[in-house]
């Protein structure tokens, strides 16, 4: 199950927001948001490893200055194309014709 770039951006923004709250001067907020990645995973409904992967990808990608969106750019997984299998997709009529001719 691959994560799309928009989903990665939302996860990264939630993580950065919670990280900002964890480093605030308020002691109650600081204590509550200590496990930022775990809370991000719970809030976004994804696994902890997904949050770690997105954070690693977000910290390694550079900010693109010519982009209209601020922040790092994430890659989407490539689109999968279904290729038609010509020899194996025969209906009953065609398979009977093949059987009779051979």
32-54 tens-digit pLDDT: 777 888 999 999 999 999 999 99
- The proportion of the chain whose per-residue pLDDT surpasses 90, expressed as a percent, equals 22
> Residue 12 and residue 49: Cα distance in Å, rounded?
13
- Computed over every residue of the chain, the mean pLDDT equals 81
Three-state SS for 72? strand
What is residue 63's predicted lDDT score, i.e. its pLDDT?
A: 58
Task: Mention every residue, 6+ apart, whose C-beta is less than 8 A from residue 53.
Answer: 3
Query: Cα-Cα-Cα-Cα dihedral of 53, 58, 59, 60, to 10°?
Result: 90
**Structure-token pair, residue 102:** 């051979």
Alpha helices (H) in 3-91, listed in sequence order: 5-22, 27-32, 36-44, 48-60
Band of the pLDDT at 94, cuts 50, 70, 90? Answer: confident
- Tokens 């995973």 sit at which residue? 41
């Amino acid at each position: 199950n691959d994560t799309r770039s928009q989903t990665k951006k939302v996860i990264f923004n939630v993580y950065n927001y919670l990280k900002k709250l964890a480093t605030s001067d308020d002691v109650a907020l600081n204590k509550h948001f200590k496990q930022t990645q775990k809370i991000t995973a719970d809030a976004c409904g994804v696994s902890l490893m997904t949050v770690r992967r997105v954070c690693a990808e977000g910290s390694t990608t550079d900010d693109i200055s010519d982009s209209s969106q601020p922040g790092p750019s994430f890659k989407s997984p490539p689109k999968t194309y279904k290729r038609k299998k010509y020899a194996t997709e025969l209906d009953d009529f065609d398979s009977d014709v093949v059987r009779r001719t051979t």
